[in-house]
């Protein structure tokens, strides 16, 4: 199967009647897979009500079957097709953050394929803040199950090229709408617990949520490695480049020492840093990922930087650590999972 590419300018007026959008939506109506841009990463979409369509997501990605998916909707009316018994706190969060990178875990309706929810009695739902995503969902008339459009375990895709690098020939089509914005996936919050609980950090920070609804809990799996996570994208190693990655806590001089020792053993070494420190390190490959002074730029460029190392054939990658606050919580979560929790700390 050859993957079709639909080029779409997100700034076009009335995207819902754009021929490429209509044709891409026709694939979804036929239960085929279509990758499309959101404000976070590219998603791999399928009809959330069709078990056979959703099954194809797991096949194309090589995704473990017990890893649930997020359902994407274009209107609040669509929410009632997939969720029920919606608590008031969820409506408050929708009013403040939808459309946007916040996923709500809610009681599910039986019409949703059990393959979407991995057999759970809840469903994760979000409304993406991207004109192409919204137009495609509306044109299909379906709630769309859509994990990130990459092979399972690889860095999430922020461009159509990343999608094709992983899934060309494995999916029906990709809508190329250019690079995504936020760069890391949505925040996932469980609205079914007594106190809303963040299951995955992402594009909306804990601080932003608490300013709206008050105190929230953090899932144990985010702070205890052995705890069982409840959120999509958190149970298995993800986001990993081909070379082993280690996150280094400490001064630039300590990281340089680590690099020197590895290079002295005959290995080629890459360093993941920021614009401010691009010229600080001597290594075989140095890739700057945004600005430390604005961590949202790091989040936006993180996956692209991790994939860029795959083109260099380095043996090892060492990454600086980032402040574990605000959007930095999501950055460090993704980095540590990409590294398989391999870390070094300056003594």
Helix (H, G, I), strand (E, B) or coil at 83: strand
> How many domains, in total, are found in the chain?
2
pLDDT tens for 230-282 read 555 555 556 889 999 999 999 999 999 999 999 999 999 999 999 999 999 99
Q: Tell me how far apart the alpha carbons of residues 103 and 187 are, in angstroms, rounded to a whole number.
A: 6
Helix (H, G, I), strand (E, B) or coil at 221: helix
Residues 181 and 249 in one domain: no
Q: Tell me how far apart the alpha carbons of residues 192 and 90 are, in angstroms, rounded to a whole number.
A: 9
Residue that is last in its domain, among 141, 158, 185: 185
Residues 156 and 288 in one domain: no
279 in a domain, yes or no?
Answer: yes
Exposed e or buried b per residue across 281-300, where buried means at least 16 C-beta atoms within 10 angstroms of its C-beta: bebbbbbbbbebeebbbbbb
The residues, any chain, with a CB within 8 Å of residue 28's CB and separated by 6 or more, are 34, 45, 46, 47, 136, 140, 142, 144
Q: pLDDT class for 221, splitting at 50, 70, 90?
A: confident
Q: Are 271 and 263 in contact (CB under 8 A)?
A: no
Q: pLDDT class for 66, splitting at 50, 70, 90?
A: confident
**Mean pLDDT score, 291-316:** 96
What are the residue ranges of helices labelled H in the chain? 19-29, 51-61, 76-82, 88-97, 114-117, 131-140, 160-167, 206-213, 252-264, 295-309, 328-338
Residues 167 and 293 in one domain: no
Please give the annotated binding residues for ATP, written as ranges. 63, 67, 148, 156, 200, 239
pLDDT at 175 over 80: yes
265 in a domain, yes or no?
Answer: yes
Measured in whole angstroms, how far is the alpha carbon of residue 8 from the centre of its chain? 21
Q: Tell me how far apart the alpha carbons of residues 122 and 119 are, in angstroms, rounded to a whole number.
A: 9
Residues 175 and 255 in one domain: no
Mean pLDDT of the chain: 94
Q: Tell me how far apart the alpha carbons of residues 33 and 173 are, in angstroms, rounded to a whole number.
A: 7
3-state secondary structure string across 222-271: HCCCCCCCCCCCCCCCCCCCCCCEEEEECCHHHHHHHHHHHHHCCCCEEE
Pairing of strands 122-126, 102-107: antiparallel
pLDDT at 1 over 90: no
Phi, psi of 174 (to 5 degrees): -135, 135
191 in a domain, yes or no?
Answer: no
Q: Tell me how far apart the alpha carbons of residues 64 and 236 are, in angstroms, rounded to a whole number.
A: 9
pLDDT at 225 over 70: no
pTM: 0.93
Q: Tell me how far apart the alpha carbons of residues 5 and 57 are, in angstroms, rounded to a whole number.
A: 18
pLDDT tens for 106-156 read 999 999 999 999 989 999 999 999 999 999 999 999 999 999 999 998 999
Sheet architecture: strand order including 269-273: 285-288, 269-273, 316-320, 245-249, 343-345
CATH number at 121 reads 3.90.870.10
45 in a domain, yes or no?
Answer: yes
Please give the annotated binding residues, written as ranges. 40, 63, 67, 72, 122, 126, 146, 148, 156, 186, 200, 239
pLDDT at 228 over 70: no
Residues 339 and 265 in one domain: yes
The residues, any chain, with a CB within 8 Å of residue 161's CB and separated by 6 or more, are none
Q: Are 51 and 31 in contact (CB under 8 A)?
A: no
Write down the pLDDT at residue 224.
63
Residues 166 and 289 in one domain: no
190 in a domain, yes or no?
Answer: no
198 in a domain, yes or no?
Answer: no
Which of 39-48, 68-77, 222-231 bottoms out in mean pLDDT, i.e. has the lowest? 222-231
Residues 26 and 154 in one domain: yes
Residue that is last in its domain, among 142, 158, 185: 185
Query: What is the span of the domain harbouring residue 289?
Result: 245-345
Phi, psi of 117 (to 5 degrees): -95, 0
Write down the pLDDT at residue 256.
98
271 in a domain, yes or no?
Answer: yes
The residues, any chain, with a CB within 8 Å of residue 195's CB and separated by 6 or more, are 215, 216, 217
How big is the chain, counted in residues?
A: 347
Write down the pLDDT at residue 216.
97
**Mean pLDDT score, 64-72:** 89
Cα angle 258-259-262, degrees, rounded to a multiple of 5 = 90
pLDDT at 334 over 80: yes
Q: Tell me how far apart the alpha carbons of residues 215 and 157 are, in angstroms, rounded to a whole number.
A: 32
Please give the annotated binding residues for L-threonine, written as ranges. 40, 72, 122, 126, 146, 186
Phi, psi of 115 (to 5 degrees): -70, -25
Residue that is last in its domain, among 155, 185, 215: 185
Q: Tell me how far apart the alpha carbons of residues 277 and 283 are, in angstroms, rounded to a whole number.
A: 13
């Amino acid at each position: 199967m050859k993957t079709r590419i639909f080029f779409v300018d997100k700034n076009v007026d009335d995207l819902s009647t754009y021929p490429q959008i209509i044709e891409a939506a026709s694939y979804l109506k036929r239960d085929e897979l279509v990758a499309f841009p959101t404000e976070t990463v590219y998603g791999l979409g399928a009809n959330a009500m069709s078990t056979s369509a959703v099954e194809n997501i797991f096949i194309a990605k090589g995704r473990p079957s017990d890893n649930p998916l997020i359902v994407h909707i274009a209107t609040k009316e669509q929410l009632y097709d997939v969720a029920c018994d919606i608590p008031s706190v969820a409506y408050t969060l929708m009013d403040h953050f939808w459309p946007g990178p916040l996923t709500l875990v809610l009681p599910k309706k039986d019409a949703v394929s059990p393959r979407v929810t991995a057999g759970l009695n809840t469903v994760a739902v979000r409304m993406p803040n991207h004109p192409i995503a919204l137009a495609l969902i509306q044109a299909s008339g379906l709630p769309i199950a859509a994990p990130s459009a990459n092979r399972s375990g690889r860095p999430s895709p922020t461009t159509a090229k990343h999608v094709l690098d992983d899934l060309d020939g494995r999916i029906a089509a990709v809508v190329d709408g250019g690079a995504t914005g936020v760069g890391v996936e949505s925040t996932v919050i469980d609205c079914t617990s007594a106190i809303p609980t963040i299951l995955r950090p992402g594009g909306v920070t804990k601080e932003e949520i608490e300013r709206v609804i008050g105190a929230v809990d953090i899932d144990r799996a985010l702070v205890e490695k052995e705890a069982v996570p409840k959120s999509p994208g958190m149970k298995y190693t993800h986001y990993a480049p081909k070379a082993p990655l280690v996150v280094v806590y400490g001064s630039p001089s300590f990281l340089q020492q680590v690099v020197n020792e590895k290079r002295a053993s005959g290995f080629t070494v890459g360093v993941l840093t920021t614009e401010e420190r691009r010229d600080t390190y001597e290594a075989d490959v140095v890739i700057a990922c945004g600005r430390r002074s604005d961590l949202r730029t790091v989040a936006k460029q993180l996956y692209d930087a991790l994939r860029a190392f795959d083109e260099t054939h380095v043996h090892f990658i060492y990454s600086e650590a980032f402040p574990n606050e605000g959007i930095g919580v999501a950055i460090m979560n993704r980095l540590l999972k990409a590294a398989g929790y391999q870390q070094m700390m300056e003594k």
